[in-house]
Amino acid sequence: MKKIFPLLFILILSTGFFTGCKKDKGEPPVLPPQESMNIDFTNFISITKSEALITGQKGTTNSNWVYAATTAGVWNLIINTTLAVPVAAFKAAVNQVPVYISTKNWQWSYTVTLPSGTYKARLTGLIRASDVQWKMYITGQSSDVFAEFLWFEGTSKLDGTGGQWNINQSAVSPLAFLQIDWTKPGTTIGTVKYTFVKAGDAFNTSYIEYGLTSNVLNAYYTIHYYTGVKFSDVSIEWSTTTHNGHVKSLEYLGDTNWYCWDANKVNTVCQ
Give the total residue count for the chain. 271
pLDDT in tens, 214-251: 999 999 999 999 988 999 999 999 999 999 999 999 99
DSSP label at residue 31:
P
Q: What is the pLDDT of residues 4-43, one digit of tens each?
A: 445 444 444 444 444 444 456 899 999 999 999 989 999 9
Q: Which of 77-81, 151-155, 217-221 has the lowest mean pLDDT?
A: 77-81
Least confident residue range of 41-45, 97-101, 179-183, 233-237: 41-45
| Sign of the torsion angle spanned by Cα atoms 233, 210, 266, 77 | positive
* pLDDT tens column, 125-142: 999 999 999 999 999 998
Q: Given the DSSP bridges, would you call strands 176-183 and 99-102 parallel, antiparallel or unpaired? A: unpaired
**In this predicted structure, what is the pLDDT of residue 59?**
53
